[in-house]
Homo-oligomer: A and B are copies of this chain.
Amino acid sequence: MILTVTLNTALDITYRTPALVPHTTHRVSEVVERPGGKGVNVARVLAALGHEAVVTGFAGGRTGDVLRELLSGSDRPAARSGRPRAARPVDALLPIAGATRRTVAVVDASTGDTTQLNEPGPVVSAAEWTGFLSHYDRLLRTGAEAVALCGSLPPGLHVGAYAELIRRARAAGVPALLDTSGEPLRRGVAARPDLVKPNADELARLTGSREPVHATHDARRRGAHAVVASLGPDGIIAITPDGAWRAAPPGPARGNPTGAGDSAVAGLLSGLVERLPWPARLSRAVALSAATVLAPAAGEFDARVYEELLPRVTVTEVPRRAGG
Contact = CB atoms under 8 A, between A and B. Distances in A.
A62 B66 CA distance: 8
A314 interface: no
A119 interface: yes
A118 B28 contact: yes
Contacts of A113: 22-23
Given A22-B20, A66-B62, A104-B104, A28 B117 contact: yes
A278 interface: no
B27 A118 contact: yes
Copies, count: 2
A115 B28 contact: no
Contacts of A106: 117
Nearest to A152: B27
A31 interface: yes
B25 A118 contact: yes
Given A22-B20, A62-B65, A31 B115 contact: no
Nearest to A66: B62
Interface string A9-26: 000010101001111111
Nearest to A111: B23
A114 interface: yes
Interface string A79-122: 00000000000000000000000101010100001111111100
5 contacts: A23-B113, A26-B116, A31-B119, A31-B120, A62-B62
Q: Which 4 A-B pairs have the closest CB atoms?
A: A25-B116, A62-B62, A23-B113, A20-B22
